[in-house]
Amino acid sequence: MLGAMTVPHEPELADVPLTAVMQALSDEVRLCIVRELAAGGEAVCGTLELDVSKATRSHHFRVLREAGITRTRLDGTRRYVSLRAGDLDERFPGLLDAVLAVPSGA
Amino acid sequence: MLGAMTVPHEPELADVPLTAVMQALSDEVRLCIVRELAAGGEAVCGTLELDVSKATRSHHFRVLREAGITRTRLDGTRRYVSLRAGDLDERFPGLLDAVLAVPSGA
DNA sequence: GCACATGTTCGACCAACATCGAACGAGCAG
DNA sequence: CTGCTCGTTCGATGTTGGTCGAACATGTGC
């Protein structure tokens, strides 16, 4: 029981139900993450500005990853996270765009 | 305290945050309702096929209504529910279409 | 008035979730 | 090897959410 941290699990988008994606995108913190990723491309987890603890941050990244929304690349002790925009748009056409079109203010 | 049942509260869509809509659409039962409304137009609450109790059904209709997704019209003892497709598309362009484009199976 | 039908509301219950501090693991720099 | 950093995992906790049965409210028809 040790590979869990080194090899994050990323599902096939075909196996992800719509409810899981909607659920993942129904949290303000996770929406922030998605927006920042959309705007700035790949990013290191710790560099994103979020008003939550390390543990909570890690939790949200996991939810996004397991909903097929993000991909995680390992580089030493850092983790680079990016949007699976292509996969997502193939599975749920227009959904991510519609979400990203909404300004963060409301 | 008795008007609550007779005059359902429907918010201005401008006041509804994206998270509320995503949240409302992240439940399978509510997705079923939305799909049936999209396919068949206005419908009476009780006529939709849902494998839940009256109380649960009422709960889901309330969540959809308060998320600005549906409108409720009173007619005697019945309640006609319909999608606020126009309002929704104005507020969150493309979102409802993207959701409805996903087949119910998955 | 009196049933009847349609929905809502009220507790209650259990599952899921967001949050945190603390402990842990893995890689990197001395 | 020893710290240091980055991030995960582990409880624990409080909150929210879905579900139900039962009670209630409201309108319709006899």
pLDDT digits (tens, 9 = 90+) for B16-56: 999 999 999 999 999 999 999 999 999 999 999 999 999 99
Measure Cα distances from B61 to A80, B12, B84 in Å. Answer: 41, 17, 13
Residue A4 pLDDT > 70, yes or no? no
Residue type, B50: L
Q: Tell if the CB–CB gap between B23 and A26 is shorter than 8 Å.
A: yes
Residue A3 pLDDT > 60, yes or no? no
Nucleotides of C strand lying within 7 Å of any protein CB atom: 5-11, 17-23, 25-28
With bands split at pLDDT 50, 70 and 90, how would you rate the model's confidence at A2?
very low
The residue ranking higher by pLDDT, A7 or A43, is A43
The per-residue pLDDT for range A33-91, each reduced to its tens digit, is 999 999 999 999 999 999 999 999 999 999 999 999 999 999 988 999 999 999 999 99
Average pLDDT, chain A: 93
Residue A31 pLDDT > 90, yes or no? yes
The per-residue pLDDT for range B62-91, each reduced to its tens digit, is 999 999 999 999 999 999 999 999 999 999
pTM, rounded to two decimals:
0.93
Are B17 and A26 in contact by the 8 Å Cβ rule? The answer is: no
Instruction: Enumerate the residues of chain A whose CB falls inside 8 A of the CB of residue B19.
Output: 26-28, 31
Question: What φ, ψ does residue A92 adopt, rounded to 5°?
Answer: -130, 75
Predicted local confidence at residue B2, as pLDDT = 42
Distance, CA of B1 to C1' of C9, in Å:
11
Residue A4 CB lies within 7 Å of the nucleic strand D? yes
Distance from CA of A45 to the nearest CA of B (A): 22
Predicted local confidence at residue B5, as pLDDT = 56
Instruction: Please identify which residue in the block is written with the tokens 């659409």.
Output: B25
Predicted local confidence at residue A29, as pLDDT = 98
With bands split at pLDDT 50, 70 and 90, how would you rate the model's confidence at A23?
very high
Instruction: Please identify which residue in the block is written with the tokens 């309702």.
Output: B33
Q: Which ranges of chain A does DSSP label H, i.e. alpha helix?
A: 3-6, 18-24, 28-40, 54-66, 85-91, 95-100
User: Which residues from B are below 8 Å from A when comparing CB atoms?
Assistant: 17-19, 22-23, 25-28, 31, 92-95, 97-99, 101-102, 106
Predicted local confidence at residue B8, as pLDDT = 79
Q: Tokens representing B101?
A: 């484009």
Are A100 and A34 in contact by the 8 Å Cβ rule? The answer is: yes
Q: Could you tell me which chain A residue has the CA closest to the CA of B89?
A: A98
Instruction: Please identify which residue in the block is written with the tokens 């999209």.
Output: B38
Predicted local confidence at residue B4, as pLDDT = 46
Residue length of chain B: 106
Residue B3 pLDDT > 50, yes or no? no
